[in-house]
């Protein structure tokens, strides 16, 4: 079993040493994990800089594989925070550095933070959702240097006000753009931890992904603490099975590797 979204002290918003997370992953029966440390250029909150010391990161992952490699494979991934005007810069970075797996995320929309909820200032919830998905669509139409689109419906996490407009028309366009390019999405189980009662994306959006012909799905806990590795993976596999998906995907040097859901049963979490 694998978990393809987690952070360590190499991410600006995380204090958890890699060793702690790796040991938890081994204890829970994982055999393949991928750290996806943040690079988020021009993040709008000046108190935090999402930069990554790539050389030190490469060395650390190699060292971790020397120590733990007989029990688990540890991969060197990255989570990039895209914005329309930064796509060329990210393209260059990905060309230069041979990351093993790349998550494409959008944490900033219209140069305003989601986390700070600035995106919602002066907009209705409906407007904010549309701006978020339109900008995500623009990014996937103009950018290919990634493997999996992370937490597609992240915008939901930052509002307590329900909206009737779930922007399915734009999300469908996003899926119809990424699927023919061989890109996937993830089920990000941090949605359960943040009170959404579901992974990200939610079941309605996973159903839409399936209807659009989407097949590539990774599982990621988005752990910033060791004990959340693999959180709600069993439930998420059940959801995927119920929606008609038959396999999930991991990556090996940016190449997808499929695993029938039926074969993924021995998890201690
Ligand atoms: Zn993220
Ligand atoms: Zn993350």
Report pLDDT for 263: 87
Extract long-range pairs of 246-251: CB within 8 Å, 24+ residues apart. 247/215, 248/217, 248/218, 248/219, 249/184, 249/215, 249/216, 249/217, 249/218, 250/2, 250/4, 250/32, 250/34, 250/218, 251/4, 251/34, 251/75, 251/100, 251/101, 251/147, 251/148, 251/218
Pairing of strands 101-105, 73-81: parallel
pLDDT tens per residue, range 129-139: 999 999 999 99
pTM above 0.95, yes or no: yes
Q: Which two tokens stand for residue 38?
A: 């943040």
Neighbours of ion ligand 2 (CB under 5 A): 79, 222
Q: Tell me the ligand closest to 115's alpha carbon.
A: 1
- Distance (angstroms) between ligand 1 centre and the Cα of 242 equals 26
Q: What is the mean pLDDT of the chain?
A: 96
Low-confidence ranges of the chain (pLDDT < 50): none
Report pLDDT for 269: 56
Contacts for 75 with CB less than 8 Å, ≥ 6 apart:
4, 32, 33, 34, 35, 61, 100, 101, 251
Report pLDDT for 163: 87
Report pLDDT for 265: 65
H/E stretch holding 34 reads strand 32-39
pLDDT tens per residue, range 153-166: 999 999 988 888 89
Neighbours of ion ligand 1 (CB under 5 A): 105
CATH number of 2-263: 3.20.20.140
């Amino acid at each position: 079993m694998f978990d393809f979204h987690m952070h360590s002290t190499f991410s600006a918003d995380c204090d958890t040493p890699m060793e702690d997370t790796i040991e938890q992953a081994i204890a829970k029966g994982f055999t393949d994990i991928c750290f996806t440390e943040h690079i988020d250029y021009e993040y709008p909150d000046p108190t935090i800089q999402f930069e990554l010391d790539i050389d030190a990161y490469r060395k650390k992952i190699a060292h971790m594989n020397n120590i733990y490699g007989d029990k688990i494979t540890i991969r060197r991934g990255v989570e990039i925070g895209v914005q329309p005007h930064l796509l060329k810069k990210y393209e260059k970075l990905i060309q230069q550095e041979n990351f093993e797996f790349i998550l494409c995320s959008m944490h900033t929309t219209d140069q305003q933070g989601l986390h700070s909820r600035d995106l919602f200032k002066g907009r209705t919830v409906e407007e904010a959702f549309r701006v978020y998905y339109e900008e995500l669509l623009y990014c996937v139409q103009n950018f290919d240097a990634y493997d999996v689109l992370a937490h597609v419906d992240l915008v939901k996490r930052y509002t307590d006000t329900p909206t009737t407009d779930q922007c399915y028309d734009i999300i469908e366009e996003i899926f119809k753009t990424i699927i023919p390019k061989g890109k996937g999405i993830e089920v990000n189980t941090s949605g359960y931890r943040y009170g959404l009662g579901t992974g990200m994306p939610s079941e309605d959006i996973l159903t839409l992904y399936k209807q659009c012909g989407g097949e590539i799905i990774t599982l990621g806990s988005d752990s910033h603490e060791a004990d959340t590795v693999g959180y709600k993976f069993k439930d998420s596999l059940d959801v995927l099975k119920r929606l008609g998906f038959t396999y999930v995907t991991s990556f090996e040097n940016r190449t997808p590797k499929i695993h029938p859901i039926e074969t993924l049963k021995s998890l201690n979490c």
